[in-house]
A and B are shown apart, each in its own frame.
Chain A
Amino acid sequence: EIVLTQSPGTLSLSPGERATLSCRASQSVSSTYLVWYQQKPGQAPRLLIYGASNRATGIPDRFSGSGSGTDFTLTISRLEPEDFAVYYCQQYTSSPLFGQGTKLVIK
């Protein structure tokens, strides 16, 4: 069974800084099926990135995804105040599986 481990658990940064979030799989997964979501308090998750590096409709280009095999990264180039939220990765092999999340907080 694949396990997705996200790090760090909490990331403290200031607006304007660059954020790098990691998602590591316990075994190699297809990048086609690696996805990222953003969740703000009291809201449902929002699809950000699919296929490891493709932005979903309406997602600003400051969000980018990369990676392959077991290591995937979500990068936010310059943090805006509205970017502080929890981020989840998700993969699909025989069924969907989420990572435990990274909480991005304002420093």
Chain B
Amino acid sequence: QVQLQESGPGLVRPSETLSLTCSVSGGSISADYWSWIRQPPGKGLEWIAYISESGDTNYNPSLRNRVTLSLDTPKNQFSLKLSSVTAADTAVYYCARGSSDFSWFFDYWGQGMLVSVSS
């Protein structure tokens, strides 16, 4: 059973960079698409980006200029950096596995981590 766990600061100051790490257990990140999705309080889901096992990335166009993803295969972790944050970036951030087996879906999710942007 694949398990994912987000970690990082829960509070980030405006204009600074949000940094989160997702640790994966029960499976290898040497396959599939490792993704970040966020959900502002009381709102819907927004896909941020994913990185493949080969390091190829795909970004939401609305966030592309501020997002950087990286993969640490030996540690079985992947990371998100979102620069120049504002209050609009306050959300629960989920990491998830994207699978392209027949369809394309997120089959394993972390529990989510609330990140607040405030001074």
> A residues engaging B (CB < 8 A)?
32-35, 37, 39, 43-47, 50-51, 54, 56, 88, 90, 92, 94-101
Interface of B (DSSP majority class): strand
Inter-chain CA distance A56–B109, complex, in Å, is: 14
Partner of A100, one of B44, B102, B105, B107: B44
Q: Do the beta carbons of A45 and B103 come within 8 Å of each other?
A: no
Total count of chain B residues near the partner, CB < 8 A: 21
Which positions 19-56 of chain B face chain A at CB distance < 8 Å?
A: 35, 44-47, 50
Partner of B45, one of A43, A88, A94: A88
Q: Find chain B residues with CB under 8 A from A33 CB.
A: 103-104
20 CB-based A-B contacts, threshold 8 Å: A32-B102, A33-B103, A33-B104, A35-B103, A35-B104, A37-B45, A44-B109, A44-B111, A45-B45, A45-B106, A45-B109, A50-B105, A54-B102, A54-B103, A88-B44, A95-B60, A96-B104, A98-B47, A99-B44, A101-B45
Chain B proximity of A99: nearest CB distance (Å): 8
Indicate whether A44 sits within 8 Å of B103 (C-beta atoms), given known contacts A88-B45, A98-B47, A100-B44.
Answer: no
Q: Do the beta carbons of A47 and B106 come within 8 Å of each other?
A: yes
Inter-chain CA distance A37–B96, complex, in Å, is: 13
Chain B proximity of A74: nearest CB distance (Å): 14
Q: Do the beta carbons of B103 and A51 come within 8 Å of each other?
A: yes
Is B94's beta carbon under 8 Å from chain A?
Answer: yes
Inter-chain CA distance A44–B104, complex, in Å, is: 18
Is B14's beta carbon under 8 Å from chain A?
Answer: no
Inter-chain CA distance A99–B44, complex, in Å, is: 8
B57-90 vs A: 1/0 string, CB under 8 Å? Answer: 0101000000000000000000000000000000
Q: Do the beta carbons of B44 and A92 come within 8 Å of each other?
A: no
Given A47-B107, A92-B104, 9 other A-B contacts at CB below 8 A?
A33-B104, A34-B103, A37-B106, A43-B111, A95-B60, A96-B35, A96-B104, A96-B106, A99-B44
Q: Do the beta carbons of A44 and B105 come within 8 Å of each other?
A: no
Inter-chain CA distance A47–B97, complex, in Å, is: 11
Q: Find chain A residues with CB under 8 A from B98 CB.
A: 96
Q: Find chain B residues with CB under 8 A from A45 CB.
A: 45, 94, 106, 109
